[in-house]
Chains A and B, each alone.
Chain A
């Protein structure tokens, strides 16, 4: 079946602009996670959704970052007034439910802020 998809695959934006990143999880997966991966580094947790609710927003780096999920399906991560330090790969993962269930990752969106 279809895996997790993310769009766009690459995004180049100017400092100060807003960007929206999209994630389509595996159908039927109720949990959805966003991570940030800087070049050569590990995964940094940003936020997760159980259904359309976000019980844990503790990883969002600043109030410029927000995320939403609708219809227990697609999720968007929005970064306002982008800064150069926002440049990274943003990875989305989904799982059957939140908790200790296998996560399936999308290919990521590579964001470059110039």
Chain B
């Protein structure tokens, strides 16, 4: 089955700096890669996703890149704000969804 690894597990950045979270996957058949933001006490919320026929996707301050050859994908948040502080999960979908273990992002004002 699929194995998704996510790094780092914790990340602290100064407000205004960029944050990058990386994930790797093992199953070359995986073709859909969503990213979720989870705030304390709430369910995960989809923030951006990318499909295997695309290498990069951007939505305002958030971007995701995908390298199918290397089987890794990354989340980039620019101009970070305190409200970006949350746990972020990556996921990969082949025959089902497999989630990374999460990155706790803290943006320091």
On A, residues with C-beta under 8 Å from B are 4, 33, 35, 41-43, 45, 48, 56, 91, 93, 99-100, 102-108
Contact = CB atoms under 8 A, between A and B. Distances in A.
Name the prevailing secondary structure of the B interface residues: strand
A98 to B, nearest CB: 9
Nearest to B44: A105
Interface string B32-65: 1010100001111110010100000000000000
A106 B91 CA distance: 17
A103 B46 contact: yes
A47 to B, nearest CB: 10
B31 A41 contact: no
Interface stretch (B14-22, B75-83, B94-102): B94-102
Given A42-B101, A56-B96, A100 B51 contact: yes
B46 A45 contact: no
Contacts of A42: 6, 89, 99-102
Contacts of A107: 41-43
A91 B43 contact: yes
Given A43-B44, A45-B98, 7 more contacts: A41-B101, A56-B96, A99-B93, A102-B34, A103-B34, A106-B43, A107-B41
